[in-house]
Amino acid sequence: MQKPENQSGNIKATGIVAQPVSVTRKMAASLPGLRELAVSKGLKMHHLGAGYPHPEVTDPRKFLTHKTRYYQHLADKEGINDAEQLPEYLRESYSYTDTLGPKSVREKFSQVYGADWNVKMDPDLLVPTVGATGGISLLCSLFERSGEPLAFITDAPTYAGFLARASLGHQTKIYSVEMDAEGPLIASLRSQIEQARADGRFVPFYYTVPDGHNPAGFSFSQARRESILAVMREYGLLVVEDAPYIYINYAEEAERPESFLSMAPKQSVHLFTGSKIGFPGPRVGFLYSEAVMDISGGETASLRDLVVTEASSDILFQNPEALYGLEALLHDENMVLRASLWPVAEDKLAVYRENRQIMLDGFERELGKYPDKFTWTHPGAGFFTVFSFQDDSVVCDEGFVSDLASNYGIVVIPMYPFYPDDAKSRNPKAGLNELRLSFCFSESQGEARRNDLKESVQAFCDAVKKLSDIY
């Protein structure tokens, strides 16, 4: 009898290459074991790693009551008095909907969100996505479809979710740009675009998180944003603005830089997610762009039309009930459309602003006298600060963060996996002296939350001083 070619007995999947697991997924997977080890040593676990919305601002009970009242408001508007009659919102919520979802949601979102960011948004250009990550996936797959060699430009470091999705394209290479305290270095941005083109690759966009950068822990300056847009116009590229933290902003209103959406809606793609301002579970998001693309055959097409076609092949039917939930959030307690989402954001900001200050104050008090040993970013938005060791002998690899968890009970995320491969080629030590610290999440609320974070910051400061031979 002839032996089968596949001696292992496993199913063949020729051409499929295993992708690296993100550092956040690795930490989540290893946490139960590390927690058990820490507890066996009598240690309390301190959460400075997870970038999750805090449970104190994501309790759904008040929202569910509000949503129920809003749904009744919609039924009342229809003039429904017969309990047997099915309201339109309810029929749509549990039926198939098209790729763009209910029109009323897009109309109301564009009105409120557009007012907040000083742009007249066209609701027909809003494409629902599964969170902002769904928008990233759509853009990547859209440009991958041509089959030609691609280059995606991004920051060094950059969002792990973008790295994971962009790396799936076998014809795609990431070209990264170093940053300073204001954003990407403009000379490097130009150089990487030109290098990618010289390498025979099509460059469609530059991807970034300009507000509360994940993982870099700062926001781009207004001047740097204007310089980025000048480069995009010069080279005919889009800037993809991932905006999960655009409302999680700690700057005074007059000091907040403009979004790329408001500065150049025809040169940008804006990715909104409701995960931070609303609730993470429903995965509600939108992609918005007014860009027009030159396509094959000398023709043009709106980016919106191209993305809708791509979305139809990915998620043909959006979740209308989740989208109606966002519509409810856009209305106040009197069922009047909000003039702004900032009051909704303020409920979240009260917690995150306080947490941020606890962390920064703790670092300054405990470590401020050692600027030759430690530095950290002061986030203008978002959930993170990047903590850096100035001593080259401290290497923040997986072993280092595992030791912090098992020996000190401190959960952190190392920075080096957020650097694209080309950045590590330029500098093999990229990120190896850095940690991404989160101040957004804990398992406690109210005064217990404040005390737990203070304790976590103190435990971290004590640990790094000991590891740096200060004690």
Interhelix angle 23-40/398-408, nearest 10 degrees: 30
Place of tokens 């020996």: 407
Would you give per-residue pLDDT tens digits along the chain (471 residues)?
555 555 556 665 555 555 665 656 665 556 566 667 667 777 888 889 988 899 999 999 999 999 999 999 998 888 877 777 888 888 888 888 778 889 999 999 999 999 999 999 999 999 999 999 999 999 999 999 989 999 999 999 999 999 999 999 889 999 999 999 999 999 999 999 999 999 999 999 999 999 999 999 999 999 999 999 999 999 999 999 999 999 999 999 999 999 999 999 999 999 999 999 988 888 999 999 999 999 888 889 999 999 999 888 766 677 889 999 999 999 999 999 999 999 999 989 999 999 999 999 999 999 999 999 999 999 999 999 999 999 888 999 989 998 898 889 999 999 999 999 999 999 999 999 999 999 999 889 999 999 999 999 999 999 999 999 887
pLDDT of residue 10: 66
Q: What architecture is domain 88-329?
A: 3-Layer(aba) Sandwich (3.40)
What is the C-alpha separation between 468 and 460, in angstroms, rounded?
Answer: 12
**Candidate CATH numbers 3.40.630.10, 3.30.200.210, 3.90.1150.10, 1.10.3720.10; the one for domain 23-57+343-467:** 3.90.1150.10
* Domain extent listing, the chain: 23-57+343-467, 88-329
Strand order in the sheet with 172-180: 126-130, 284-288, 268-273, 238-242, 205-208, 150-156, 172-180, 183-184
Q: Quick one: pLDDT at residue 335?
A: 97
Backbone angles phi, psi at 429, to 5 degrees: -95, 10
φ, ψ of residue 428 to 5 degrees: the values are: -60, -15
Token match 């409302």: residue? 247
Note the pLDDT of residue 406: 86
Q: Which of 17, 48, 165, 131 is nearest to 436 (CA)?
A: 48
In the numeric block, which tokens belong to residue 363?
């670092």
Burial class (CB in 10 A: 0-12, 13-18, 19+), 208: buried
pTM over 0.85: yes
Identify the pLDDT of residue 157. Answer: 98
pLDDT the model gives residue 213 = 97
Contacts of 38 (CB under 8 A, 6+ apart): 44, 45, 405, 406, 407, 409
Q: What is the pLDDT of residue 97?
A: 79
